[in-house]
């Protein structure tokens, strides 16, 4: 890895205290110099702060793991979502262009409308359903416009980790408290553990030949209901939840939310196969994360 790291020896990570940001720090190559910026260190929505930060640290590569991810709250806070998800990436791309840096920007399956029935390719037409998805899509466009040759957009989905606020930790809490949960069964995608996502991002960071839009998730397909059933089964085996947890399937109509969500958002990951990246099935990754929670 040392020889390849010449292209990304000095890496600045935004959103370093988020799920993906923390995992990027845990999995960083030994020969990389990493500048970790939390939101308190750098508000990417503030253009002057972004340019000052990139001028100060002069990174070879920027990995943007900062995002406004409160999907439902974004419907009532569009300006806040736009600041982080659209203007922030634009500022980073502009600063990267000025200083000759490369930008790896993390995006989302929510740029799609869910009308497909086969996995979305990176070049499929986007059609986001809500504010969150629109601001993320517009962030992609801003990056591509400002830094077309030295940018990589990586869309991912349903990310979770052993720490932070995510579906897995929420399910474990509700299952322990109530012994039963009701979960939407007509939204389908792929659960994705933060660690393998971070490892994929580092693979991209050390390969200067990767550009454009790519997808990365774990392998397999699941509904949120399937995901919850697996959490209950695997969690019971590790003593994290009671042995007899009831998981009831419901429809999206049964659980109305401010933001519409894609009913199908499985992503085609084959464009990254040339990097030697082979996703592992989500259930195996879930087991690893639950063991991490158990040992915490």
Q: Two tokens at 197?
A: 């996502």
* Residue 248 counted as domain residue: no
- Residue at 233 is within a domain: no
- Cross-strand bridge partners of residue 68: none
Q: Which domain holds residue 126?
A: 4-162+191-219+266-280
Domain assignment present for 114? yes
Q: Which two tokens stand for residue 76?
A: 């009532």
Whether residue 167 is contained in a domain is answered as: no
From first to last of its 296 residues, the chain has per-residue pLDDT tens of 334 445 558 999 999 999 999 999 999 999 899 999 999 999 999 999 999 999 999 999 999 999 999 999 999 999 999 999 999 999 999 999 999 999 999 999 999 999 999 999 999 999 999 999 999 999 999 999 999 999 999 999 999 999 999 999 999 999 999 999 999 999 999 999 999 999 999 999 999 999 999 999 999 999 999 999 999 999 999 999 999 999 999 999 999 999 999 999 999 999 998 888 899 999 999 999 999 999 98
Tokens of 145: 């416009």
Q: Give per-residue burial for 82-103: e unless 16+ CB within 10 Å, then b.
A: bbbbbbbbbbbbbbbbeeebbb
Buried b (16+ CB within 10 A) or exposed e, 206-223: bbeebbebbbbbbbbebb
Q: Quick one: pLDDT at residue 9?
A: 86
Residues constituting the chain: 296
**Could you tell me if residue 89 is inside a domain?**
yes
What CATH number is given to the structural domain containing 68?
A: 3.40.50.720
Q: Check if the beta carbon of residue 11 is closer than 8 Å to that of residue 35.
A: yes
**pTM of the full predicted structure?**
0.94
pLDDT of residue 4: 46
Contact 175, 119 (CB under 8 A): no
Q: Mind telling me the catalytic residues? A: 132
Find out whether 49 and 73 touch, Cβ atoms under 8 Å.
no
Contact 27, 195 (CB under 8 A): yes
At 191 the pLDDT is: 98
Residue whose C-alpha is closest to residue 81's, from 136, 41, 127: 136
102-108 and 151-156 beta bridge pairing: parallel
**CB atoms near residue 162 (< 10 Å):** 22
Number of domains in the chain: 1
CA distance 118 to 114: 10
Residue 96 lies in a domain: yes
> Looking at residue 274, what is its pLDDT?
85
Confirm if 140 and 213 have CB atoms less than 8 A apart. Answer: yes
Residue 209, domain member (yes or no): yes
């Amino acid at each position: 890895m040392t020889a390849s790291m010449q292209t990304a020896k000095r890496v600045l990570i935004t959103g370093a205290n988020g799920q993906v940001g923390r995992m990027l720090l845990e999995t960083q190559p030994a020969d990389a110099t990493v500048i970790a910026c939390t939101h308190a260190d750098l508000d990417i929505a503030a253009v002057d702060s972004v340019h000052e930060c990139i001028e100060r640290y002069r990174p070879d590569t920027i990995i943007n793991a900062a995002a406004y991810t409160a999907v439902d709250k974004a419907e009532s806070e569009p300006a806040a979502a736009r600041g982080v998800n659209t203007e922030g990436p634009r500022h980073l791309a502009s600063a990267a262009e000025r200083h000759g840096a490369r930008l790896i920007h993390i995006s989302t399956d929510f740029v799609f409308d869910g009308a497909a029935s086969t996995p979305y390719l990176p070049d499929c037409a986007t059609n986001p359903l809500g504010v969150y998805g629109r601001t993320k899509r517009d962030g992609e466009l801003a990056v591509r416009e400002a830094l077309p040759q030295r940018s990589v957009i990586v869309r991912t989905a349903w990310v979770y980790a052993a720490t932070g606020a995510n579906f897995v930790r929420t399910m474990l809490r509700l299952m322990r408290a109530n012994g039963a949960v009701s979960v939407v069964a007509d939204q389908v995608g792929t659960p994705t553990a933060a660690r393998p996502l971070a490892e994929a991002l580092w693979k991209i960071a050390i390969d200067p030949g990767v550009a454009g839009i790519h997808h990365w998730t774990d392998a397999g397909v699941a509904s949120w209901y399937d995901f919850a059933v697996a959490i209950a089964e695997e969690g019971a085996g590790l003593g994290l939840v009671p042995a007899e947890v009831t998981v009831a399937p419901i429809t999206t109509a049964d659980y109305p939310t401010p933001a519409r969500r894609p009913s199908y958002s499985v992503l085609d990951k084959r464009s990254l196969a040339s990097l030697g990246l082979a996703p592992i099935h989500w259930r195996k990754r879930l087991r690893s994360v639950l063991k991490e929670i158990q040992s915490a």
